Amino acid sequence: MTKPKIYITRKLPDKNLQILKEKANVDMWDDEWEPVPHHILLEKAQQADGMLTMLTERVDKSFFDHAPHLKIVANMAVGYDNIDIQEAKKRGVIVTNTPDVLTETTADLAFGLLMAAARRIVEASEYVKAGSWKNWGPFLLAGKDLHRKTLGIVGMGRIGAAVAKRSKGFDMNILYHNRSRDLETEEELGASYVSFEKLLKESDFVVCLTPLTEDTKGMFNKKAFELMKNDAVFVNVGRGPVVDEQALYEALKTGEIGGAGLDVCNEEPIRPDHPLLSLRQAVILPHIGSASVETRHAMIDLAVKNLYQVLIESHSPLTPV
Ligand code: DGY
């Protein structure tokens, strides 16, 4: 029997790929940091039965046009807005993602961003490193308390629920907004379902975890920031394009809101001269929500298992989208 051909779009550790390499012909882009150029991706797609992709790859109609043998795209991320799912469906290509294994790690980072933006942790560290620390002062780098405040979660999925669980340890009052109510979550976490507008008006902290879709694109716009409290802290650990960055910049600059923590941006990487980077009250990270060593290995392993199930065992994948 001929071995299936698999293309992996980033250099990944050998030990995670062992089980695949025994049963398949595995080819891999030989760089850990730079994404595979699109024309090479298309060239590799010609032969591939399966692909292991990152969120940096654009898996669109033209990609599928170049991939006549493709059976599965295993995306190494829980989000899959880089993939045209309708196009995949039309062609019978299975798409999988990596949910669950990254939930707690991403929630840790979301909470870390909340803390960092609220208590000005990054700014304070930069202040010390710049040699500016001359004395103690009653309000030196004074921030905002998290405990007993109201947390609003937009997108109460697995990661949202894990953030809510953490906030209970801080005695926070939890509001959430989703496309639909989740009574189990409400009962388990003591969270209250509210409209998007009410959440924005009443929350001291707003955490966005909603996936990027046509409906959510740009939902955090000028009007949304105007509805927030003037000292509210906005955190985004979902996808950058759900935020109108110009509106966020204006809101921070004019004091419409108090601070922001972003793990994701409209364009990644963000341009070094982007206005948001000039604001002391914005903490901006390079999309590291799930980036713990343990979790990144677990994500690779899950993507590999999905490829193995479909291409070697001819079974259903573990985590189809
Ligand atoms: C995801 O999995 O979608 C994250 O954004 C990347 O880890």
Going by C-alpha positions, the residue among 57, 59, 75 that lies closest to residue 67 is: 59
The sheet with strand 259-262 has its strands ordered as: 191-193, 173-177, 150-154, 205-208, 233-236, 259-262, 282-284
pLDDT in tens, 142-198: 999 999 999 999 999 999 999 999 999 999 999 999 988 989 889 999 999 999 999
Residue 280 annotated among the catalytic residues of the structure: no
Going by C-alpha positions, the residue among 198, 249, 195, 193 that lies closest to residue 221 is: 249
* pLDDT in the model for residue 290: 98
Atom number in ligand 1 closest to CA 98: 2
**Domain ranges within the chain, ordered by starting residue:** 5-101+293-312, 103-284
pLDDT surpasses 90 at 1 = no
CATH 3.90.1170.50 fits 103-284, yes or no: no
> What value does the mean pLDDT of the chain take?
97
* pLDDT in the model for residue 173: 98
Atom number in ligand 1 closest to CA 79: 3
Identify the residue whose C-alpha is closest to ligand 1 atom 4.
77
Q: Do domains 5-101+293-312 and 103-284 have the same CATH topology?
A: yes
Residue 268 annotated among the catalytic residues of the structure: yes
pLDDT in tens, 194-238: 999 999 999 999 999 999 999 999 999 999 999 999 999 999 999
Assign domain 5-101+293-312 to its CATH superfamily. NAD(P)-binding Rossmann-like Domain (3.40.50.720)
* pLDDT in the model for residue 157: 94
User: Is 245 within 8 Å of 252 (Cβ atoms)?
Assistant: no
C-alpha of residue 73 to centroid of ligand 1, in Å: 16
C-alpha to C-alpha distance for 232 and 160, rounded to whole angstroms: 18
Going by C-alpha positions, the residue among 206, 208, 204, 176 that lies closest to residue 189 is: 176
- DSSP labels for 233-285? EEEE-S-GGGB-HHHHHHHHHTTSSSEEEES--SSSSPPTT-GGGG-TTEEE-
pLDDT surpasses 80 at 9 = yes
β-pair partners for 75:
53
- Over residues 276-285, mean pLDDT: 97
Segments of the chain assigned E as strands: 5-8, 25-28, 50-53, 72-75, 94-96, 150-154, 173-177, 191-193, 205-208, 233-236, 259-262, 282-284
Site to probe by mutation for ligand 1, drawn from 10, 59, 78 as the one with most ligand atoms within 8 Å of Cβ, is 78
Longest dimension (CA), the chain: 74
* pLDDT in the model for residue 185: 87
pLDDT in tens, 26-57: 999 999 999 999 999 999 999 999 999 999 99
User: Is 72 within 8 Å of 96 (Cβ atoms)?
Assistant: yes
- Residue 299's alpha-carbon distances to 54, 74, 99, 132, 218, in angstroms, are 11, 10, 8, 41, 28
Q: Which two tokens stand for residue 229?
A: 């409290």
C-alpha of residue 102 to centroid of ligand 1, in Å: 8
Whole-model pTM? 0.96
Which residues are near ligand 1 (CB < 6 Å)?
55, 77-79, 102, 289-290
Residue 43 annotated among the catalytic residues of the structure: no
Atom number in ligand 1 closest to CA 263: 5
Identify the residue whose C-alpha is closest to ligand 1 atom 6.
77
C-alpha of residue 61 to centroid of ligand 1, in Å: 22
* pLDDT in the model for residue 261: 98
Of 43, 226, 268, 313, the catalytic one is 268
Identify the residue whose C-alpha is closest to ligand 1 atom 3.
79
Say how many C-beta atoms besides its own lie within 10 A of residue 211's C-beta.
15
ipTM of the complex, rounded to two decimals: 0.94
